[in-house]
Amino acid sequence: MPSTSIAACPIPATCNWQPFGLPRRPANRTVVFRGFLEDTDQLKFVIDSRSEKAEQIEHQPWGEACWYFPNTREQFRIAGYLTLVRSSSADSEREIARQKSWQELSDAARVQFAWPHPGETRAEDAGAFSPPPPDAVSPLPNFCLLLLDPVQVDRLELRGEPQNRWLYRRDSSQSWSTLAINP
């Protein structure tokens, strides 16, 4: 996967991706990119199983991340299959990856998983947002790891005379091909 520019880029650790929203209504949000799953091209994100996103992903395990890097004026659109790794995952390798992602979070990021149910009417008890810090080793049950396994990358370079654009595609033998296309 032609991921070097992304992995090496120190700027935005956020990206936009969107699984299905309501039936036939795609949704979109900003999430923090957590690096690649070890020895793979799969992008890691973390989400709360109580959020709308989790259900959307199970209905529609396809997503597209869109990054724009203002400094280099490049856009990457990375489309692929989504896998949600819940606490009940029977896949031990993925469960280990889930635990590792939890351990790598900051305390401030971890405690959010102990906050009241996201998207529900605001909890009036201010203490609800100051729970005791959760265990730093064992993830809370609502903590999920989300994997995006890319099959297509559309890269647009706005800098250049004219702009440049490439389409990278992964075939069934897992090889990547590159095609220069019109911007």
Smallest distance from its own copies to CB 95, Å = 27
**Burial degree of 140 (CB within 10 A; 0-12, 13-18, 19+):** middle
Q: Are 4 and 76 in contact (CB under 8 A)?
A: no
DSSP per-residue string spanning 16-40 = EE--B-STT-B--EEEE---BPTTS
* One-letter amino acid of 121: T
Which is nearer to its own copies, 21 or 36 (by Cβ)? 21
Residue 6 CB, nearest approach to its own copies (Å): 15
> For residues 127 and 174, which CB has a smaller minimum distance to its own copies in the complex?
127
Minimum distance between the CB of residue 66 and its own copies, rounded to whole angstroms?
Answer: 4
The smaller minimum CB distance to its own copies, of residues 166 and 176, is found at 166
By CB atoms closer than 10 A (0-12, 13-18, 19+), residue 11 is exposed
Least distance to its own copies, CB of residue 103, Å: 22
Q: Which of 73, 57, 103 is nearest to 165 (CA)?
A: 73
Q: Which is nearer to its own copies, 2 or 12 (CB)?
A: 12
Q: What residue ranges bind its own copies (CB under 8 A)? A: 12, 14, 16-21, 24-30, 60, 62-66, 68, 70, 75, 77, 79, 112, 115-123, 129-130, 161-162, 165, 167, 179-183
